[in-house]
Amino acid sequence: MKYYDKLIFELSKEGRCGYSLPSNGWDASLTELPAGLARAKEPALPQVSEPDVVRHYTNLSQMNFGVDSGFYPLGSCTMKYNPKINEEISAHPGFAGLHPLQPASTVQGALRLYRDLSHALSAITGMAEFTLNPFAGAHGELTGLMVIRRYHMSRGDSRRTRIIVPDSAHGTNPASAAVCGLEIVVVKSKENGLVDVDDLRPLLDDTIAGIMMTNPNTLGLFEKDIKEIAALVHECGGLLYYDGANMNPLMGVVRPGDMGFDVMHLNLHKTFSTPHGGGGPGAGPVGVAAHLVQHLPAPKVMEAEDGSLYVAGDDGQACGRISGFMGNFGVLLRAYTYILMIGRQNIRMVGPLSVLGANYVKESLRDCFRLPVPTVCKHEFVFDGLLDQSTGVTTLDVAKRLLDYGFHAPTIYFPLLFHQAIMIEPTETESKETLDCFINMMRHIAAEALSDPDTLKTAPHTTPVRRLDETTAARQPVLRYHSETSF
């Protein structure tokens, strides 16, 4: 049994004390809770020494995996280096201590940062204006679709209630469309993984609100027919939505605005740092072309005649309000810092480097893993399991074995187009030495699959928790410590 297998409650010894606070010298009657509000019984908190408490939290932190502890090739997520200055800036008391209800005159700096960041995102993407209010990519999708609905309604075009989504799309696309009250129409992909333009044409009529596209798509492939698709959708009166979660490989190379997109979201917690394991926090700013600016959600940051900034509510044209205040300000700060730290020149290197890294890993492993779409990829690519599948070793086994070697697993069983999908995204911030180490481990695992398949099928062996029954873990999670004593 390892030390950390014992819970802090189990280490408790009656009367042991980690730290005692000095008396504050105040009259107890001033600081005691009123009788009716106090507990009947002292809470059964663990009684442990200071080192026990420190070890408890340190060990808990080491049972997790993060970008600060190792390589994280999670496809579709862009887990990049988070410059430590991001943390310093976002923790600055002048930012961290702000209250969202402060008068605008006292938060001019924060409002300017909001506006400057949205201008930077406009320059990077070619959109006219951004709102930074949405809290995540999926929240941005919902906001963008609300803008599209508002646009059609404002023109009296109430028949447009259907939205086209490719079968390769991220699951949040159809989910957001459904939440927005739109009916989903699926367009198929061709053998080569790209949207089938011939399948798209007959779907286009005057009930189509628009199309949601991800480019490069979830297979990491650039939709090279995008100009033709844009022309066809615009011709039928629909709008183009760009899922910008995959903006990483395009940064500084191509802009969604120039590809013909009307509305888009970015995942600041992917493309602009802020690691987001465990579900947050995030930011999903939405950018729109000039003809949709008035439909962006309230509140908005506006400039008064004297040059000061203020927060404006809904003027009746907005698509509504999608967040209480102005978004996840801490994540916005990190993205702003990241953009300024990289600078205008170097931001052009992000895209090409992410593409180079992904293709390097792909080409170095394709003699061990099945590569269903063997073309040049963008920032990520998908294998369909091991090349030699005779031993019955699955993608899940490979992913679990990687944990034994200190790597986070890639995304597995997504996208749904391939049964044994392994989706790898190295991200541009990783060195060639790290990529080589990962490549060697993946090759080693492919060899193990032939020589010792049972070790893979029972992996992981070195992690705090071994292989879980994932269905039970998801359906009946044990989230609380149960004991005889009540806490």
Ligand X SMILES: *Cc1c(COP(=O)(O)O)cnc(C)c1O
The yes or no reply on residue 138 touching ligand X (CB under 6 A) is yes
Sheet strand arrangement including 381-384: 381-384, 421-424, 411-412
Q: Which is nearer to ligand X, 76 or 420 (CB)?
A: 76
Sequence-distant (6+) residues with CB within 8 A of 85 are 337, 341
Q: How far is the CB of 251 from ligand X (least distance, A)?
A: 15
Exposure string of 360-397, with b = 16+ CB inside 10 Å and e = fewer, is ebbebbeebbbbbbeeebbbbbbbbbbeeeebebbbbb
Indicate the residue type of 330. Answer: G
**150 near ligand X (CB under 6 A):** no
Task: Say what angle helices 432-451 and 395-404 make with each other, to 10 degrees.
Answer: 120
Contact between 193 and ligand X by CB under 6 A: the answer reads no
Closest contact distance (angstroms) between CB of 413 and ligand X is: 15
Please state the length of the chain: 487
Q: Tell me if residue 244 falls in helix, strand or coil.
A: strand
Q: Which one, 129 or 243, has the nearer CB to ligand X? A: 243
Piece of the chain touching ligand X by CB under 6 A; list 16-24, 130-138, 388-396, 423-431 = 130-138
Least distance between ligand X and beta carbon 170 (Å): 3
Nearer to ligand X, 46 or 277 (CB): 277
CA–CA distance, 213 with 187 (Å, rounded to integer): 11
By beta-carbon proximity to ligand X, the closer residue of 209 and 268 is: 268
- Cβ proximity to ligand X: between 334 and 401 the closer is 334
424 binds ligand X (CB under 6 A): no
DSSP state of 189: B
| Residues in region 66-85 near ligand X by CB under 6 A | 76
Residues that contact ligand X, how many (by CB under 6 A): 14
Specify the 3-state DSSP secondary structure of 218.
Answer: coil
Q: Of these, 134, 216, 237, 282, which contacts ligand X (CB under 6 A)?
A: 282
Q: Judged by CB under 6 A, which of 129, 223, 243, 397 binds ligand X?
A: 243
Residue 267 in contact with ligand X, rule: CB under 6 A: yes
Name the segment binding ligand X (CB under 6 A); options: 44-52, 64-72, 131-139, 298-306: 131-139
- Residue 129 interacting with ligand X (CB under 6 A): no
d(CA 339, CA 274): 12
Per-residue contact string for residues 171-190; x = within reach of ligand X by CB under 6 A: -x------------------
Alpha carbon distances (Å) from 344 to 71, 109, 235, 252: 27, 22, 35, 9
User: Near ligand X by CB under 6 A, which window of 87-95, 243-251, 307-315, 397-405?
Assistant: 243-251
Binding of ligand X by 214 (CB under 6 A): yes
Nearer to ligand X among residue 220 and residue 257 (C-beta):
220
User: 242 to each of 92, 219, 223, 359, 379, how far by Cα in Å?
Assistant: 34, 16, 12, 24, 17
Contact in structure between 314 and 321 (CB atoms under 8 Å): yes
Interface residues with ligand X (CB under 6 A)? 76, 136-138, 170, 172, 214, 218, 243, 245-246, 267, 282, 284
